[in-house]
Every structure is written in structure tokens, then in C-alpha cells.
Amino acid sequence: MRKRNFWCYRVDTSKIKYFTDELNDGRLRQGWGWDEAQDLRNFKMDEGAGRNRPIFNKVKKGDILLIPQIPSWGEVALVEAIEDFNLGYRFELDKNQSDYGHIFPAKYIKKFTRNNDNVTGNLRSTLKNPSRFWNINHYSDDVELLLNTEVTDLSKRQDHNSRLESSIGSVFNEVFDEKVFADKLYDKLTEQFTREEWEFALVYGLRQMFPYYQIDRVGGKEEKNHGADILIKLPSILSNYEYAIAIQVKDYNGFVGSEVINQIEKSEKYWDSENLKLIEKIVIITKASKDNNLKLIDNDKNVKFIFANELKQLLSEIGKNFIGMK
């Protein structure tokens, strides 16, 4: 018999009730699925949907998934895969939703609260991981303990603080519409910023999100040599160099020419001479849509693009960080 694996799996916490109701009917939903072309069995359009491929390929029948914030804020659901996900998967849009078309076969087992006495420090720590999906086989014994513990014993909270946090989170989730927030924030900021102003705004926002990284605006006279507007430096375990992400920002609309690729490409050699190992080259297009620029996505220079829709989500994350939601 195949040894089962253990995973953590996040969902869109702005739709907790929807995901919980679907799971109770055996449908484990996932985001980045609003178009039939994003069906993982006949994949033609990404827009983030490709991030679900590891889930599709790796989860097998009998595997256990831990899902934070299901069935309610502050709780974690224990869920079992009832088929191999690549076999039981289907794509179906809910008529009342504009997303979450990816459906995996799973059944809800039980829930636990993070601060319960039976939850180990290992699990509490890994549940802070911001990833969408990750393996926790190294904590299999910790999960097995929860599977073998009575439901009533898993719901006991340790202190008043955890009950307070859970109540606040639950009420906040009921009244906060993340999509409306993202749409309005993007509209407001595109009114406020043009051209190089975006560079200053994004540097400020990214610094708030990632306070331990060095994030600088490097545009200006030297830009013609290195092709970047923003540079993010990350520490390396080796002291003789750092890692870096080079970002070019273009306040463009409609069709975007391939010259933006040529520009960011300059950063490869330039920053290498500064003892920086470039790990990503990103071009942010503030107003243009991906659908109008599919040829840019298929570039052979390993340049990644953030178009208007992805920028909207990035700005939403920055905004939530400013108001203390992160």
C-alpha cells in the first residue's frame, strides 16, 4: 500500500464560507480558474492557473491536506483526497462566482484550532508559511496525532487571546470584500501615479511588505546601462555575493513592444559585475492587459511580466499590509 503524503493547501480567505460549503460537498476548489482555457487537463492560458499544476500532479488518493481558515477563521481543516487529484480533477465554473473553477476530489474529516494543546509547535510554525501549497511529510507524526484525537478535544482553545483573535477574524471576513478592495485601490492608484511616479510608489509599498530586503529605485541616468527601475537585494548564505531581482516599470496601455525585453535584459551582465546574482527579471506593465500581449509571455529571455490584473493583486497585498491585515 502506498504511503500517504501530507500537504498544506491555502484557499482565498475572502470566500471562506463558499470554500467550506463546496468542501462539504466533496469539491475542494482553487483559484486562478475563471476561463475554460485554464483547465489543467487542456491548459491553454495561465494567468496564475499554472500554480495549481503541482497540486494536480502530486496529491494522490489517501493523502491528507491541512487547510488554514476552513471552516472558519482561526481554524484548520483536515481533509483527505478521495481520488488522485489528476484523475478526479474537473473544471467547472460556479454560476455565482467569477473564479475557482479548479475542483479537486476531497472529503472533510475534522477541524482543529491552531492553539489547541494537541497542535505541536512544528505545525503552528509551518502554518505560517505564506505559500499556496507545500509538503509537510516531515511532520507526519504531528498530523497523525490530530487525526487520532477526538474532535471535541481539538476544538478546545488554550486561552482567551486565541478566542479574541478568532472572533475578530471571523467578523472581519464577513464584512471585507477583497475583490472590491483590490479593484478600487487599483483604480485610485492609476489615477494618482504616472510614469516614474510608479517607481517611487512601488518601492515604498514593497519595502513595507518586505522590510528585511534592500529595495531601491535605481532608475535614472544609469538605467540606460542596467535596464532596471527597481532593484531588490536578497541575502545569500555566501558572503561574496547577494541575490537580486531587477524590475522595469512601464506605465503603458494596450499593445506593448518587445523593446521592454531588450531593456530589462541589460541587467543580466550589469548587476553580475556588482557581485549580484540576478534570479529574476520582471517587467511591470501598469495598464496593459495580458490578453493583448501574449507574445511577450513566450519570450526566450526568461523575463516575467506583471500586467494590469496581476498588478492589481500585488497592490491589494501591499494595501492589506499597510492596514495590518498581513
- What are residue 15's phi and psi, to 5 degrees? -130, 45
Each residue's pLDDT expressed in tens, for the chain with a length of 326 residues: 678 999 999 998 888 889 999 999 999 999 888 889 999 999 988 878 888 999 999 999 999 999 998 998 878 999 999 999 999 999 999 888 889 999 999 999 999 988 788 889 899 899 988 888 999 999 999 999 999 988 777 766 555 566 566 666 667 666 777 778 888 888 888 888 887 889 888 999 999 888 889 999 987 777 777 888 999 998 888 777 889 999 999 988 888 888 888 888 888 878 777 788 888 999 999 998 888 888 888 777 888 999 988 898 888 888 877 776 65
Secondary-structure class of domain 178-322 per CATH: alpha beta
pLDDT at 293: 85
Q: State how far the alpha carbon of 318 is from the alpha carbons of 3, 125, 133, 180, 202, in Å.
A: 40, 23, 21, 15, 9
Place of cell 477526538: 150
Pairing of strands 75-81, 64-68: antiparallel
Cell 470554500 belongs to residue = 19
As annotated, the residues of the chain forming the CATH 3.40.1350.10 domain(s) are 178-322
The CATH number of 6-175 is: 3.10.590
74 in Cβ contact with 165 (< 8 Å) = yes
- Expressed in percent and rounded to 5, the helix, strand and coil fractions of the chain are 40, 20, 40
Residues 6 or more apart whose Cβ sits within 8 Å of residue 291: none
Question: Which pLDDT does position 10 carry in this prediction?
Answer: 93
Q: At what angle do helices 197-209 and 308-322 cross, to 10 degrees?
A: 50
Cβ distance 33 to 100 under 8 Å?
A: yes
Alpha helices in 127-232 (DSSP H): 140-147, 151-154, 160-175, 178-192, 197-209, 223-226
Q: DSSP letter string over 247-292?
A: EEEE---S---THHHHHHHTHHHHHHTTTEEEEEEEEEESS--GGG
d(CA 165, CA 169): 6
Radius of gyration of the chain (CA): 22
DSSP 82: S
Contact 240/275 with Cβ under 8 angstroms?
Answer: yes
Domain with CATH 3.10.590 in the chain: 6-175
The whole-model pTM stands at: 0.57
pLDDT of residue 28: 96
